[in-house]
């Protein structure tokens, strides 16, 4: 128990530091480099390489591609185009916001997606409902009707307007025509819709990040730890994960939209029936704002078209390398040589020398002819600024911790103490694991959460003789379902920092979102996931580890009996 105890100490220390953020997350992630060699758990030549495995290169390639998309504003064009398509009725706009946020967060970081979408949402909301401060004032229940009218009359003209004057509805004339009760009722409805808009964006970003391996860090940690614990397992790659997770993301997104639209007043007869009233006039002005912003972008530039092409190539090549259900293009190379990381780095390398402006062909025939200045699609300076190196260190820290647990025998020791859980039916265990992880990640970083618990869950699956993926995939997905608190994820914090949401709004909405997410994951694992990954059988790639674990455990028991 000597090495296991030392490793357990390091794991618990890092867990406390990650949960309390006593040290920066990235600094805590580097502790294995200091502690594993000095405590005799693992030599440094085995620890240090864990910080830049091929999984980190795949993550890096996704981040660089995202920085190129942001550099040329392609993400904003995509967002406005989707909003033009879905329409401007509140429920449809919420759906448009969620679709756009989830799609962008599949490729960009969840935080960047939320930060980009919130200003767009606020501009649309101001065109629909006017100034927020005036709206809050109209929601107040005042005993003096005249005083209330005077407040509204005086606040409106001097409020700071985000949109142009012609795009902002004049609520003064309307307030004069309605009694205060009707004004307050309408304002309360509008405030609810406003909250629905703001809360849907971070939730959709968190949901969308689960659809691709590069969408969020826990997905890559799953791949890295699978390669560490089960080297023969090659079932999870970009293509196979997308085929499993994308339908799950769509299902959860639709259910989440129905819940948010129901809770915040977006679901009503106006979805299908047109009414010629004041709301329709406001919706028309909101549509004009979206159209105007889209027109300002102008025609697609050469750089945007080039980024779009390489982005599509990036996705297609990753998806078709080895999707498992059909033969991928990796068969043209030596088996095991070309991975998702190789594919990603090939594409992003092109971005650093491909021109951002269409080169002039005249220069090829006349060297004295003027040519367009050479500016690549992406500079290294820009990539360096946009890549969150702390997350890459965090990934490495997770892989180093997993390696230490494996080499020290701590994983086997934990597995021996999880034997009583073998009595729980696997389908129930999936729900319990997802629920536990989703609750824990409300208070801790999702990356730190999955790093801490994935080795334990893998060993649990081996002990109860269940396919490890049956427990590890729900845990990984559930790690992104942190919806209840502002501190749960950076996207939640950004939306809450706008000052328009209260904690009780997030708790009320997020609690049901968590339940919906847990049920969706359980459904996915027991339907298409069951057949995709052959989860109903115990795989051969997990048997060697199981056998070695059993051997170590048996040897330990025998030693104890002899000494006794």
Rg of the chain taking only CA atoms, in angstroms: 27
Backbone angles phi, psi at 370, to 5 degrees: -70, 145
Q: pLDDT tens digit string along 191-247?
A: 888 888 889 999 999 999 999 988 888 998 899 888 888 888 888 988 899 999 999
Q: pLDDT tens digit string along 73-125?
A: 888 888 788 878 877 777 888 888 899 899 988 887 788 788 878 877 877 77
* CA–CA distances in Å: residue 118 to residues 186, 286, 470: 23, 15, 36
Q: CA-CA distance, 451 to 453, in Å (whole number)?
A: 6
The pLDDT value given to residue 362: 65
Q: Please enumerate in sequence order all residues whose Cβ is within 8 A of that of 550, keeping only pairs 6 or more positions apart, or say none.
A: none
Q: pLDDT tens digit string along 338-368?
A: 888 888 899 999 999 998 888 776 656 666 6
Instruction: Indicate whether 415 pLDDT > 50.
Output: yes
The pLDDT value given to residue 140: 67
**Residue 538 in tokens:** 């115990």
β partners of residue 355: 376
β partners of residue 376: 355
Q: CA-CA distance, 142 to 454, in Å (whole number)?
A: 55
Instruction: Indicate whether 528 pLDDT > 90.
Output: yes
Residue 69: name the closest of 308, 345, 382, 376 by CA. 308
Backbone angles phi, psi at 425, to 5 degrees: -60, 140
Burial track 242-279 (b if 16+ CB lie within 10 A, e otherwise): bbbbebbbbbbbebbbebbbebbbbbeebeeeeeeeeb
* CA–CA distances in Å: residue 203 to residues 95, 181, 208, 490: 12, 33, 9, 11
The pLDDT value given to residue 318: 84
Instruction: Indicate whether 146 pLDDT > 70.
Output: no
Per-residue DSSP letter, 328: -
Q: Helix H segments across 387-502?
A: 389-408, 410-417, 426-440, 446-463, 468-478, 490-497
The pLDDT value given to residue 162: 36
The span from the first CA to the last CA of the chain, in angstroms, equals 16
Give the distance, in angstroms, between the CA of residue 150 and the centroid of all CA atoms in the same chain. 46
Instruction: Indicate whether 21 pLDDT > 80.
Output: no
Instruction: Indicate whether 417 pLDDT > 50.
Output: yes
């Amino acid at each position: 128990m000597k090495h296991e105890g030392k490793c357990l100490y390091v794991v618990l220390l890092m867990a406390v530091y990650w949960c309390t953020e006593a040290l920066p997350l990235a600094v805590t992630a580097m502790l294995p480099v200091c502690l594993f060699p000095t405590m005799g758990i693992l030599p440094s030549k085995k620890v240090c390489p864990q910080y830049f495995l091929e999984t980190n290169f795949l993550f890096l390639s996704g981040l660089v591609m995202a920085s190129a998309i942001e550099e040329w504003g392609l993400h904003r064009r995509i967002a406005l185009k989707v909003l033009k398509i879905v329409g401007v009725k509140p429920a449809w706009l919420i759906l448009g916001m969620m679709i756009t946020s989830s799609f962008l967060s599949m490729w960009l970081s969840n935080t960047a997606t939320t930060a980009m979408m919130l200003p767009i949402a606020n501009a649309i909301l101001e065109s629909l409902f006017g100034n927020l401060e005036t709206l809050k004032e109209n929601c107040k229940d005042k005993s003096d009707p005249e005083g209330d009218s005077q407040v509204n009359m005086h606040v409106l003209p001097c409020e700071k307007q985000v949109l142009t004057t012609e795009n902002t509805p004049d609520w003064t004339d309307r307030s004069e025509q309605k009694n205060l009760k009707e004004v307050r009722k309408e304002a309360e409805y509008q405030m609810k819709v406003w909250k629905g808009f703001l809360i849907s964006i971070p939730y959709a970003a968190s949901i969308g990040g689960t659809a691709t391996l590069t969408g969020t860090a826990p997905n890559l940690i799953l791949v890295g730890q699978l390669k560490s614990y089960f080297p023969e397992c090659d079932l999870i790659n970009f293509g196979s994960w997308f085929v499993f997770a994308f339908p799950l993301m769509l299902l959860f997104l639709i259910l989440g939209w129905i819940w948010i639209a129901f809770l915040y007043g977006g679901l009503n007869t106006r979805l299908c029936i047109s009414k010629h009233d004041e709301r329709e006039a406001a919706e028309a002005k909101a549509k004009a704002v979206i159209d105007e912003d889209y027109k300002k972008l102008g025609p697609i530039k050469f750089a945007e078209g080039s980024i779009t092409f390489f982005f599509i190539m990036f996705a297609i090549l990753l998806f078709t390398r080895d999707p498992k259900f059909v033969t991928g293009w990796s068969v043209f190379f030596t088996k095991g040589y070309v991975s998702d990381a190789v594919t990603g780095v090939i594409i992003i390398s092109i971005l650093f020398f491909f021109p951002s402006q269409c080169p002039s062909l005249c220069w090829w025939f006349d060297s004295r002819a003027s040519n367009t200045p050479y500016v690549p699609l992406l500079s290294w300076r820009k990539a360096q600024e946009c890549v969150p190196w702390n997350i890459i260190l965090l990934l490495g820290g997770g892989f180093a911790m997993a390696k230490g647990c494996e080499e020290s025998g701590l994983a086997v020791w934990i597995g021996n103490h999880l034997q009583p859980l073998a009595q729980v039916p696997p389908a129930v265990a999936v729900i319990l694991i997802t629920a536990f992880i989703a609750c824990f990640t409300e208070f801790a970083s999702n990356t730190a959460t999955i790093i801490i618990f994935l080795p334990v869950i893998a060993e649990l699956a081996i002990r109860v003789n269940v396919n490890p993926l049956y427990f590890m995939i729900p845990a990984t997905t559930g790690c992104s379902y942190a919806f209840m608190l502002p501190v749960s994820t950076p996207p939640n914090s950004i939306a809450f920092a706008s000052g328009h949401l209260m904690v009780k709004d997030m708790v009320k909405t997020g609690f049901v979102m968590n339940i919906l997410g847990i049920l969706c994951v359980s459904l996915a694992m027991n339907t298409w996931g069951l057949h995709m990954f052959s989860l109903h059988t115990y795989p051969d790639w997990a048997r060697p580890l199981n056998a070695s674990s059993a051997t170590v455990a048996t040897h330990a028991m025998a030693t104890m009996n002899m000494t006794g």
